[in-house]
Amino acid sequence: MACSANLRRTSVLLCGLAWMMARLAHGEGEYRFDDSLLLGSGLAGGSLERFNRAQQIDPGTYLVDVYVNTLYVNRSEVSFRLQDDVVEPCFSERYLHQHMNARTLETPTADAAQCLALSTRLPGATFQYDSARLRLDLSVPQALLDIKPRGYVDPQDWDAGGTMGFVNYDASLYNSRYEASASQAANYGYLGLNTGVNVGLWRLRHQSNYSYSSFGGTAVSRWNSIRTYAQRAIAPWQSELTVGDSFTEGNLFGSIGFRGVRLASDDRMLPDSQRQYAPQVRGTAVSNARVVISQNGRKVHETTVAAGPFVIDDLYGTAYNGDLDVQVIEADGSITRFTVPYAAVPDSIRPGISRYSATLGEVRQTGANQGAFAEATYQRGLNNTISANLGARVAQDYLAVLGGGVLATPYGAFGVNSTFSSATVENQQRKQGWRMGLSYSRTFQPTNTTLNLAGYRYSTQGYRDLADALGARQASERGDSWDSTSFKQRNQLTLLVNQGLGGYGNLYLSGSSSDYYDGKSRDTQVQFGYSNTWRQLNYSLAYSRQRTTWYRDTVTSAAVPDFANQADQHDTSNRTNTLTLTLSMPLGSSTRAPSISSMLTQRSGDTKGSSFQTGINGTLGAQRDMSYAIAASRDSAGRGTNWTGNLQAQSAVATFNGGYSQSADYRQVNGGIRGAAVLHGGGLTLGPYVGDTFALVRAKGAGGAIIRGGQGARVNADGYAVVPSLSPYRYNPVGLDPSGMGDQAELIETERKVAPYAGSAVLVDFKTLIGHALLIQASLPGGGAIALGADVLDEQGTVIGMVGQGGQVYARAQADSGRLQVRWGSGPDQACLLPFDVNSSNAHDSQGFIHLKSTCTPNEEPS
Q: Flag whether pLDDT at 169 surpasses 90.
A: yes
Confidence at 721, pLDDT banded by 50, 70, 90: very high
The overall average pLDDT reported for the chain is 80
**Quick check: 531 pLDDT over 90?**
yes
Residues 6+ apart with CB under 8 A from 368: none
Q: Return the pLDDT at 770.
A: 81
Are the C-beta atoms of residues 67 and 127 closer than 8 Å to each other? Answer: no
Residue 186 has pLDDT above 80, yes or no: yes
For 134-190, give the DSSP string: TEEEEE--GGGB-PPPTT---GGGEE----EEEEEEEEEEEEEEETT-TT-EEEEEE
Look at residue 149 and tell me whether its pLDDT is greater than 60: yes
Task: Report the alpha-carbon distance of residue 758 to residue 34 in Å, rounded.
Answer: 55
Per-residue pLDDT, averaged over 717-728, amounts to 92
Cα 711 to Cα 20, 172, 228, 655, 728: the distances in Å are 51, 19, 28, 9, 19
Q: Which of 222, 226, 220, 218 is nearest to 210 (CA)?
A: 222
Q: Using alpha carbons, list the distances in angstroms from residue 471 to 218, 225, 546.
A: 32, 20, 28
Q: Which residues of 286-324 are buried (b: 16+ CB within 10 A; e: fewer)?
A: bbbbbbbbebbebbbbbbbbbbbbbebeebbbbbbbbbb
Sign of torsion, CA 463 467 468 470? positive
- Reported confidence tier of residue 3, pLDDT bands at 50, 70, 90: very low
Flag whether pLDDT at 746 surpasses 90: no
Q: Which of 252-261, 306-315, 624-633, 833-842 has the lowest mean pLDDT?
A: 306-315
- pLDDT value of position 170: 95
What amino acid is encoded at 421 in this protein?
S
Helix, strand, coil percentages in the chain from 3-state DSSP, rounded to 5: 10, 55, 35
Q: What pLDDT does 683 receive? A: 92
Single out the residue of 396, 405, 342, 401 nearest to residue 369, CA to CA: 396
pLDDT of residue 250: 79
Q: How far apart are CA 789 and CA 808, in angstroms?
A: 10
Nearest-CA neighbor of 495 among 507, 512, 477, 481?
Answer: 512
DSSP string, 442-460: EEETTTTEEEEEEEEEEE-
Q: What percent of the chain has pLDDT over 90?
A: 26
Least confident of 626-630, 780-784, 858-862: 858-862
Name which residue leads in pLDDT, 709 or 4.
709
| pLDDT exceeds 80 at position 727 | yes
Least confident of 50-59, 66-75, 142-151: 50-59
pLDDT at residue 482 greater than cutoff 60: yes
> Which segment, 33-47, 103-117, 662-676, is predicted with the most confidence on average?
662-676
> Per DSSP, which regions of 681-807 are E strands?
683-687, 694-698, 706-707, 720-723, 732-737, 745-747, 751-756, 761-765, 768-770, 772-779, 791-793, 799-802
What average pLDDT does range 583-609 have in this prediction? Answer: 86
Question: Regarding predicted confidence, which is higher, 21 or 702?
Answer: 702
User: Within the chain, how many helices (H) and strands (E) appear?
Assistant: 4, 54
Closest residue by Cα to residue 315 from 343, 287, 340, 344: 340
The secondary element (H helix, E strand) that includes residue 206 is: strand 202-215
Pairwise pLDDT comparison (272 vs 536), residue with the higher score: 536
- Cα–Cα distance for residue pair 609/630, rounded to 1 Å: 23
* Tens of pLDDT, residues 536-595: 899 999 998 887 655 444 433 333 333 333 333 444 556 788 899 999 999 988 888 999
CA distances from 434 to 318, 513, 560, 606 (A): 26, 20, 11, 37
Residue 861 has pLDDT above 60, yes or no: no
Residues 1-22, mean pLDDT to the nearest whole number: 40
Task: Specify whether the CB–CB gap between 761 and 678 falls below 8 A.
Answer: yes
pLDDT in tens, 375-414: 999 998 887 778 899 999 999 889 999 999 988 776 777 8
- pLDDT, tens digit (0-9, with 9 covering 90-100), for 313-333: 666 544 344 567 888 888 888
- Give me the amino acid identity at 302: E
CA distance 249 to 320: 6
Identify the residue with better confidence: 349 or 714. 714
Res. 24 pLDDT band, cuts 50 70 90:
very low
The burial class, CB within 10 Å (0-12 / 13-18 / 19+), for 246 is buried
Angle at 655 between CA 661 and CA 675, to 5 degrees: 125
Residue 757 has pLDDT above 70, yes or no: yes
Pairing status of strand 60-68 against strand 135-139:
parallel
Say what the pTM is.
0.71
Residues 6+ away with beta carbon under 8 Å from 314: none
Q: What is the pLDDT of residue 323?
A: 61
Q: How far is CA 3 from the centre of its chain?
A: 68
Report residue 47's pLDDT band, with 50, 70 and 90 as the boundaries.
Answer: low
Q: Which carries the bigger pLDDT value, residue 17 or residue 55?
A: 55
Average pLDDT over residues 774-794: 85
**Residues 260 and 286: beta-carbon distance below 8 Å:** no
Q: CA 298, CA 192: separation in Å to the nearest integer?
A: 13
Band of pLDDT at residue 622, cut at 50, 70 and 90: confident
With H, G, I as helix, E, B as strand and everything else as coil, classify residue 566.
helix
Host H or E run for residue 265? strand 257-265
User: Does residue 762 have a pLDDT over 90?
Assistant: yes
**Rounded Cα gap, residues 601 and 567, in angstroms:** 32
**Residue 282 pLDDT greater than 80, yes or no:** no
In this prediction, residue 810 carries a pLDDT of 84
Q: Please give the pLDDT value at position 202.
A: 95
- Considering 218-227, 471-480, 787-796, the range whose residues carry the highest mean pLDDT is 218-227
Residues 673-685 have pLDDT tens digits of 999 999 999 999 9
pLDDT given for residue 409 in this prediction:
73
- Residue 289 pLDDT level (bands cut at 50, 70, 90): confident
R_g (Cα) of the chain, nearest Å: 35
How many CB atoms within 10 Å of residue 761? 29
Q: Which of 357, 362, 360 is nearest to 376 (CA)?
A: 357
In this prediction, residue 367 carries a pLDDT of 57
**SS3 label, residue 793:** strand
C-alpha–C-alpha distance, residues 132 and 134, integer Å: 6
Position 728 confidence tier, pLDDT thresholds 50, 70, 90:
very high
The answer to whether the CB of 161 falls within 8 A of the CB of 202 is: no
Strands 164-178 and 666-680: antiparallel
Confidence of residue 863 (pLDDT cuts 50, 70, 90): very low
Between 325 and 234, name the one with better pLDDT: 234
